[in-house]
Structure formats: structure tokens, C-alpha cells
Amino acid sequence: MCGIVGYAGRRQAAPILLEGLKKLEYRGYDSAGVAVLDNGTLHVMKRAGSVEGLAPAKSFAGNVGIGHTRWATHGAPTEENAHPHIFGRIALVHNGIIENMKQLKEECLERGETFISETDSEVIAHLLDFCYEGDILAALKKTAARLSGSLALAVISLEEPQRIALARRASPLVVGRAEDGVYLASDIPAIAAKGMKVYALGENEFALLDGKEAHFYAEDGREIEKKPLDYAVEEDVPEKKGFRHFMRKEMSEIPLSIANTQQILRSYPKISALREVLCHAEYIHIVACGTAYHSGLCAKVAFETRARIPVEVAVASEYRYRDPVIQRNTLVIAVSQSGETADTLAAAELAKRSGATLLAVTNVRYSSLARLSDLVLFTAAGREIAVAATKSFNAQLTLLFALAEELAMAKGRGGCGAELFSLPELAQRALASSEEVRAWTPHFLSAKSVFFLGRGADYCVALEGSLKLKEISYLPSEGYPAGELKHGTLALIEKGTPVVAILTSSRLAEKTMNAVHETYARGAKVFLVTSLPEYRKREEILSSVLIPDIGEIYSPVLSVIPLQALAYYVSVARGNDPDKPRNLAKSVTVE
Ligand code: AGP
């Protein structure tokens, strides 16, 4: 998945492209490139690595251009594989995956054409040039009909110096119309400015930008009128504000992100529609990926315990191909920070097609998921730049736990007594004590593997702690149900293996401690995150962090904080960039 940007208008295109690409780096940062059209001459620059490497391209002359920041799918992150891809009269940038690339490439090879990259996207440039008869939009329509897979495409031709043609299928693409010209991008914040009208391309739609106007076309070729999106320009460009990394800064914003999310919920304009849906819900499916999936797992514990309603939590990439049983009165909750994750969107679409009510939990107001869903609950975490999700996870939990309480009420089960309103302050305290995990770092630096153990809600948090550590420290790690360890995985415990136990349930604490003891007896170094002070002194524990007690079900919103901090400190101590871990991107818009 990648970010694409483009401009046709009165201004110089290059600075606009570079600025837009910088804002799109959350979609990929392993190579980048721009192509600017200047009266029939094409200026091109591509670089392996981040957008910064393109700085010299800022001086390119020309009013029409396209740009790309890449997350490698086909082919290594090299300069050759960077976009734009150019063949004959065509230059293009592509986000998505072309599934029939092999067969199409063979066709081109038979015509004697040669390829310079290993990407699936280059084949599109060949096909376009083959179909091109002086009309870029017509060539794009013909070409798109031959492509299987997902695509957001921006295409220029050397023979049409004012035009950019666009196509969209299963990858987001927006167009902005401003007084000085027409913009395009993978998402709104990359281009949005005051006074700009922004339009989202729909599935299988095309567009033609001519420097002044944007024309939109349905799949069958009809020109269509589009309504501009209702969006607000983001005034605040996130900065590190004195922190060394965005991840650490975003962790410091956890209390605010919880408080703001609670505030959004209090003033939710569709509360009666939501209550109506909750009242009738007999089954709940939660679909999500990665960290959002883990918040779904935590929510399952809360929904089932508090409202006694059966909840299935599914990894979206599995759900979408599984033919899930969606009964009448099933509420499907799609959880996604970005609202653009391809698998989550596909799972949500499937649920909707099958007649379920679709509720989105997302951090991005104008996201594809928000537009697709029947009801949307926004987490108010604010923009999250670091690839590793932190404050957005705490905000998702805040929202889902509040939903569990609404659901319990709708099912006539009364309040839980937990002081959810004091969560921001408790999170502040958890943040402060999390600094202690810094001292744990040396024990993790060269660990062969790390284990996170818990039961119930603590197990869900163990999974998130492990994911965080893996993605930014590159250490092999597993989150495991404490009681399951003895059924095989215990074999991996050696002298010195770091084990992190999460203990927030007095009901389950002794049971978890059994497993902890089994690892300790085999030489593990055991670290503890707990809200139960009496366990800190146990002989098995090398070091511990005490977090405030909010009760077993809702503890994840606090117990995850020391684990996020641990991942951060280990990552930095290992010399990694926690904001931009290798091989990953913030938003995964391909399947
Ligand atoms: C979290 O640290 C990850 N980077 C990743 O697992 C992420 O949560 C996942 O890709 C889902 O993203 P979404 O919430 O934007 O859908």
C-alpha cells in the first residue's frame, strides 16, 4: 500500500507534490518519486528511502505532476521499483495490487517490450501506452477493464500536458477542487486547504482533471455529478513537541485521548438510534486487524460479562473470506484507527451486504469506513503518526467499554460500579509509573524470545504488548494465555527468557501465578504489570510496575500503558526508529 498525490493547475506542481507526499508517509516510506510535466517534457525523480530524498525535485518546473510514496508489495524497496512508472508516452502512480500481472506482463513481453522494475504497477504503464490513442481517459478505461485486483491510479500522458486521469477500485482516492487548480491524493489531509471542495471517488469510478475542473465518470462511462464531502481542514500539523519520537509523544497524550473520547460520547448526536440498535442486538461480531483486533478482544470480555451477549471477534482478513454466519439482529462492529484498512473495509462491506447493522469505531472522520457504516462512533485520539498504535488503542477501549455499559443498560443489567469517568486521571498515573519499565530494557535487548502472559482481559493485553514489542523492537515475542503455556510453549523457556506477566484480576491472580512460577522455575526473568500490590513482593518477580485498579474487565486501558512503554524503550535501545519500523506502514490499504 502506498500514498499517491497529484496536481494540475496554475501553481508549480513540485512543491505541492512533495508536501502532499510528506503527509502520506504513514502509508509507506520505503521509496518515493515524482514526475512533473513541463510543456511536453517530463521531469522525474525517484529515490529509495523516505520522501526527504526527493528534496532536489522541488525546483522542477511544470504545473502538472504526480507523486508516490511506496510500501513495497511486488519487488524490493529500490529506486527502480519506485513510482512513477514510465513507459512510452505514459507516466503513472499506483496504489494497490494487480493480481493478473503475470499474464499481462507476458503479453507485453511477447510484443518485445522490456521492463525495468519488478513491480506489478509497471505493467499498467505498458498496457496504457498500448491502448493510448490520444485520449488518456479512454486509454485508462480500457486498461482498467483488463486489470484484476485493487487500484488507485493517477496517469499522465506526454501528449496531453494539462490532464491527469484517475481510476479507483478498492483503494481510496480523493480529488480537491480549489481556486488555483485541481488536486488528488490517497486521503484528504494530504491536500485539504481552506475553501477547497473535496470529492471521494467511488468504487470503479474514473475522473479527469484538466487544471481547472474535475470531471467524474461512472463505470459505464456516464459523467456523474458528485457532492463535495463535509470535512474540516486539519489546522494542527502534528509535531513532536520536544519528544524524541512521535510514539512517545502520542503515549503522553493517552489521558487526553481518553478524556476527549469520553466527551465525544457524551454528546453523540445519534444516541437514541444507537440505543435502539443495542437494544435489538442479539449477536455481535467485531472485525478488525492488528491492534484494533486486540481492542475487539478486550471488548468481547466486557460485552459478554456486562451484557451477556455472545460476541465473536474476527481478524478481518479471515472473516472476509469465511462466509460467516450472520444471523438476524447481528450487530457488526468494525474497529479501525485509520478507517482505511482494506481487510476491515472488506469485512464491513460483507457484513452490510449480509443484512447486519454496521457500526464503525474509527479515529478518522472522513474515512472510507465512516462513510460505509450505518452508525459511526469516533475515537478522539487525534492524529496518530507513529506506526505503532498507542493512544488510539486506549481511545478504542474507552469507547468500546462505554458501549459495553450502554449495552448492559439496554439489556437491563445496571451499572458496573467501575469509575470509568476517572480514567483520564488513572491513565496519567499509569503513564507516570510506566517510566519504571525503562530499567527493564537491558534484560530484553538480545532476548531470543519474549513471552507476555495473562488470563481473561489480561491475556488480550498480553497479545497487544507482544505485538507492540515485535513491530518496533523486531524481537520474537508471543502473547499467551497463562494456563495454556504448559501445553507446549513452556518448552521455549530458557534461563534468562524475559516473561512479562499481566495481573489485574484477583479472581485469576493465583492461577496466572502458577504459570509464572513454572517459567521462573525454568530460569525465566519475570516482570510484572499489576494492579494488585500484594503480588509485587513474590519471589518469582524480578521487577514490577503498579498501575491503578479499575477492575478486571476495564483494566486493559491502563495495563497496556507499561507494555507500550516497554516496547518503546527496547526499540530505542536497540537503535531502531519506533516511529517508522521496517517493513510496516501506518495504514494498510492493500489486502
Ligand atoms: C498497530 O501498532 C499496528 N501498526 C497495526 O496492527 C494496526 O493496528 C492495524 O494495521 C490496523 O490498523 P487500523 O486500526 O488503522 O485499521
Judge if 535 and 578 occupy the same domain.
yes
Q: Collapse the DSSP code of 238 into the 3-class scheme (helix H, G, I; strand E, B; otherwise coil) and give the result.
A: coil
Position 234 in a domain:
no
**Does residue 403 fall inside a structural domain?**
yes
Distance from CA of residue 476 to its chain's centroid? 22
Whether residue 51 is found in the same domain as residue 9: yes
pLDDT at 499 over 90: yes
Task: State whether the beta carbon of 336 lies less than 6 angstroms from ligand 1.
Answer: yes
Q: Which ligand 1 atom is nearest residue 338's CA? A: 15
Question: In one letter, which amino acid is 378?
Answer: F
CA of 293 to the centre of ligand 1 (A): 8
Residues 273 and 400 in one domain: yes
What is the model's pLDDT at position 235? 58
143 shares a domain with 98: yes
Q: Which domain holds residue 383?
A: 239-416
Q: Within a domain: residue 463?
A: yes
- Arithmetic mean of pLDDT, 393-422: 89
Provide the CATH number for the domain around residue 262. Answer: 3.40.50.10490
Q: Tell me: the pLDDT tens digits for 551-562?
A: 999 999 999 999
pLDDT of residue 521: 97
Mean pLDDT check: name the lowest of 117-121, 243-247, 269-273.
Answer: 269-273
**pLDDT band at 417; cut points 50, 70, 90:** low
For a pLDDT cut of 70, what percent of the chain falls above it?
99
Q: Is 528 in the pocket of ligand 1 (CB under 6 A)?
A: no
Gap from CA of 334 to ligand 1 centroid (Å):
13
* Tens-digit pLDDT profile for residues 464-473: 999 999 999 9
Report pLDDT digits (tens) over 66-96.
999 988 777 888 999 999 999 999 999 999 9
Residue 522: other Cβ atoms inside 10 A? 15
State residue 255's pLDDT score: 98
pLDDT of res. 188? 87
Q: Give the mutation target among 1, 27, 291 for probing the ligand 1 site: most ligand atoms within 8 A of CB.
A: 291
The DSSP code for 267 is T
Domains held by the chain: number: 3
pLDDT confidence bin for 265, thresholds 50/70/90: confident
- Please indicate, yes or no, if residue 511 is contained in any of the structural domains: yes
pLDDT for residue 263: 93
The answer to the question of residue 428 being in a domain is no
Query: Best substitution site from 363, 588, 591 to test ligand 1's pocket, by max atoms within 8 Å of Cβ?
Result: 588
> Is 202 found in the same domain as 97?
yes
- pLDDT reading at 488 higher than 90: yes
User: Is 373 within the bounds of a domain?
Assistant: yes
Average pLDDT over residues 492-512: 97
pLDDT at 394 over 70: yes
Number of the ligand 1 atom closest to the C-alpha atom of 468:
2
Beta strand pairing call for 206-209 and 41-48: unpaired
Q: Are 90 and 157 in contact (CB under 8 A)?
A: yes
* Sign of the torsion angle spanned by Cα atoms 7, 13, 19, 25: positive
Structure confidence at residue 194 (pLDDT) = 84
Nearest Cα residue to 466 out of 383, 387, 388, 574: 388
Confidence of residue 267 (pLDDT cuts 50, 70, 90): confident
Say yes or no: 251 and 211 in one domain: no
Q: Does ligand 1 come within 6 angstroms of the Cβ of 287?
A: no
For residues 585 and 386, what is the distance between their CA atoms, to the nearest angstrom?
9
Q: Name the DSSP class of 227.
A: P
- Asked, for residue 425, whether it belongs to a domain, the answer is no
- The response to whether residue 69 sits with its C-beta less than 6 Å from ligand 1 reads no
Whose Cα sits closest to atom 4 in ligand 1? 388
CATH (domain of 70): 3.60.20.10
Mean confidence (pLDDT) of the chain: 94
CB atoms within 10 A of CB 129: 18
Same structural domain for residues 299 and 403? yes
Q: Convert the pLDDT of each residue in 287-326 to its tens digit.
A: 999 999 999 999 999 999 999 999 999 999 999 999 999 9
Lowest mean pLDDT, pick from 38-52, 448-462, 563-577? 38-52
pLDDT score recorded for residue 460: 98
Answer yes or no: do 175 and 209 share one domain: yes
Shared-domain flag, residues 57 and 146:
yes
Distance 290 CA to ligand 1 centre (A): 5
Evaluate if residue 342 carries a pLDDT over 80. Answer: yes
What pLDDT is attached to residue 442?
A: 97
Whether the predicted pLDDT of 332 surpasses 70: yes
Regarding whether 553 and 486 lie in a shared domain, the answer is yes
Q: Is 341 in the pocket of ligand 1 (CB under 6 A)?
A: yes
Q: Judge if the beta carbon of residue 337 lies within 6 A of ligand 1.
A: yes
pLDDT of amino acid 237: 66
The answer to whether residue 479 is domain-embedded is: yes
In which element (H, E) is residue 377 found? strand 375-378
pLDDT of 588 reads 84
* CA of residue 319 to ligand 1 center, whole Å: 16
Last residue of a domain, one of 169, 201, 224: 224
- Does pLDDT of 528 surpass 90? yes
Determine the distance separating the centroid of ligand 1 and the alpha carbon of 42, expressed in angstroms. Answer: 37
Cβ neighbors of 333 (< 8 A, separation 6 or more) are 284, 285, 286, 287, 296, 299, 359, 360, 361, 400
- Which of 390, 416, 442 represents a domain boundary (last residue)? 416
Has residue 170 got a pLDDT over 90?
Answer: no
> How many angstroms is it from 292 CA to the middle of ligand 1?
6
- Helix-, strand-, coil-residue percentages of the chain, each rounded to 5: 40, 25, 40
344 lines ligand 1 (CB under 6 A): yes
Higher per-residue confidence, 101 vs 590: 101
Q: Kindly report the number of other CB atoms within 10 A of residue 15's CB atom.
A: 15
Please tell me if the CB atom of residue 471 comes closer than 6 angstroms to any atom of ligand 1: yes
- Residues catalogued as catalytic: 2, 586
Are the C-beta atoms of residues 203 and 237 closer than 8 Å to each other? no
Predicted local distance difference test score (pLDDT) of residue 351: 96
Q: Can you tell me the mean pLDDT for 256-263? A: 96
Domain match, 134 and 208 both: yes
- Say whether both 23 and 108 belong to one domain: yes
Which of 224, 254, 286 delimits the end of a domain?
Answer: 224
- For the cut 70, the answer to whether the pLDDT of residue 236 exceeds it is no
Mean pLDDT calculated for residue range 375-383: 95
- Give me the pLDDT at residue 498, please: 98
pLDDT band for position 419 (cuts 50, 70, 90): confident
